Amino acid sequence: MDAFAAIIAFDNASLHAVQSAISEPLTWVMLGITFLGNPVFWVIVAALIYWKGKENESFFLMNLIVFTALVTGALKAAFLRQRPSPETFRVLGTDDFGQFAFPSGHSALIAAACSHYWGFLKKNQRLAFAILVGLVAFSRLYLGMHFLSDVIAGIAIGLAIGKLNLLARNRLFHLNFRPSKLEDEIVLVGAVMLAVLGVFFLQPFPLSAALIGFYAGFFLFKEMGLEQARMHGRKSKAKYLCGFAFLAAILVATGEIPLISIKTSNAEQFALYLIAGFWISWLWPFLWEKIAVKKNR
């Protein structure tokens, strides 16, 4: 038996072993855990960081999402490995990020986030994050979305991307990061734009639309020299609540949250996700400063 056949055999055996533990309560837990590797979850985290007044930190988190999606999408297109067959395994999950399995994008993204933020975490936080990486990888197996080699490769790729993103952040991050002052940053910005273009072709367009909207708003925010007032308590909660209420409305309008039956065309979905990204990085921070903050001064 050659090495490739041995990997396939091991993948099949390990997936059968993991799925032998399937139960209805555990399935619901795994569906929740697997969301931690979904780009949508990390876009929500990026919005929280942005509205907290840490625009540059949010920018680099979005870069993490972009480059992970680009690398995993390119590798999926190169290897064309099919996901586990429902005829052989129990497929309990769905995935809007492509029909191919290698490498696991969810495992890569959660590992990339862990790698990027590792140096900012305390010892117990590091342990918790590492456990989450393992749980997300396990959930991809449990739900029948990937083989073991897919998630191992995804974790390895994610760890490397996280370190590279951290290197870019440490080298280029400063308080006056503005698109009008990009002497050293121009390479990064060019790479980001190319990556977003790559994501557009390799991943479903809602993700790329949200990314384009976010970056457009971010650079406009910096170019205008805007600043967000730091808030705590009720005002901070009100800002988050109103901001996410609008994002939820967009998801409902696109049919992502099936509360009501709405049919939208691809062009309409692209526009809605574009607005969502722009809402995070410019429109809502701008409106909040104009309406809520200055009104109380």
Model pLDDT for residues 17-29, shown as the tens digit of each residue: 888 888 888 889 9
Mean pLDDT of the 157-165 span: 93
Q: In this predicted model, what pLDDT tens digit does every residue of 220-255 receive, in sequence order?
A: 888 787 788 777 778 788 889 999 999 888 877 776
Residue identified by tokens 């929500």 is 44
74 pLDDT band, cuts 50/70/90, is: confident
Identify which of 79-83, 132-136, 170-174, 185-189 has the greatest average pLDDT.
Answer: 132-136
Predicted pLDDT of residue 180: 47
Cα separation of 158 and 57, whole Å?
Answer: 18
Those residues with Cβ within 8 angstroms of residue 154's Cβ, 6 or more apart along the chain or in another chain: 72, 103, 104, 105, 106, 107, 108, 111, 137, 146
Per the model's pLDDT, the better-predicted residue between 219 and 282 turns out to be 282
Cα separation of 297 and 291, whole Å?
Answer: 11
Do 137 and 151 meet the contact criterion of CB atoms below 8 Å apart?
A: yes
pLDDT surpasses 60 at 12: yes
Cα separation of 142 and 168, whole Å?
Answer: 35
Query: 39-48, 102-111, 265-274: which has the minimum mean pLDDT?
Result: 265-274
Q: Can you name the residues that pair with 82 across neighbouring β-strands?
A: 100
Q: What are the angstrom distances between the C-alpha of 66 and each of 95, 233, 266?
A: 18, 32, 21
Tokens, residue 112: 């990339």
C-beta atoms surrounding 85 within 10 Å: 9
Cα separation of 156 and 112, whole Å?
Answer: 9
Predicted pLDDT of residue 279: 92
Mean pLDDT of the chain: 82
Predicted pLDDT of residue 128: 94
Cα separation of 48 and 56, whole Å?
Answer: 12
Mean pLDDT of the 54-69 span: 89
Residue 248 φ then ψ, to 5°: -65, -40
Predicted pLDDT of residue 137: 94
